Amino acid sequence: MEKQFRALPDEYRVEVENEKQGTIERLQYIVPNLDNGKDAKQLNVYLPYCYDTTDKDTKYNVLYLMHGGGEDENLIFGGPGLNRELKNILDYMIANGDFAPFIVVTPSF
């Protein structure tokens, strides 16, 4: 089967209407370090607009998206004042049915 590629529609690069916007949650986790101590690390989690914390039956695929060396967990979805273009693209693709709703985790290491 031949793969087809198409250009991303321009509107996917701006915010989708409020009720279709996913959320990004910032969480902290603890990992052991080389000095037999513990380090606190941060991660961001993208949740699609339809994610419901009370729904225990719906399952979601999860994409673990790692940043490159020298960066941190904010590179992918942006921290305060940073680029949110990927979030906007995911919001549109899920809202328009291009992708089934899924979760994205961007940890630090």
Condensed to tens digits (0 to 9), the pLDDT of residues 86-106 reads: 999 999 999 999 999 999 999
More confident residue, 73 or 28: 28
Condensed to tens digits (0 to 9), the pLDDT of residues 64-84 reads: 998 878 777 877 887 655 668
Q: Per CATH, is 10-107 categorized as 3.40.50.1820?
A: yes
Q: What is the pLDDT of residue 67?
A: 83
**Burial (Cβ within 10 Å: 0-12, 13-18, ≥19) of residue 99:** middle
Q: What is the pLDDT of residue 73?
A: 81
Of the candidates 61, 106, 99, which has an alpha carbon nearest to the alpha carbon of residue 82?
106
Q: Where are the beta strands (DSSP E) in the chain?
A: 23-32, 38-47, 61-64, 102-107
Q: What ranges do the domains of the chain cover?
A: 10-107
Average pLDDT, the chain: 89
Distance CA 39, CA 91 (A): 32
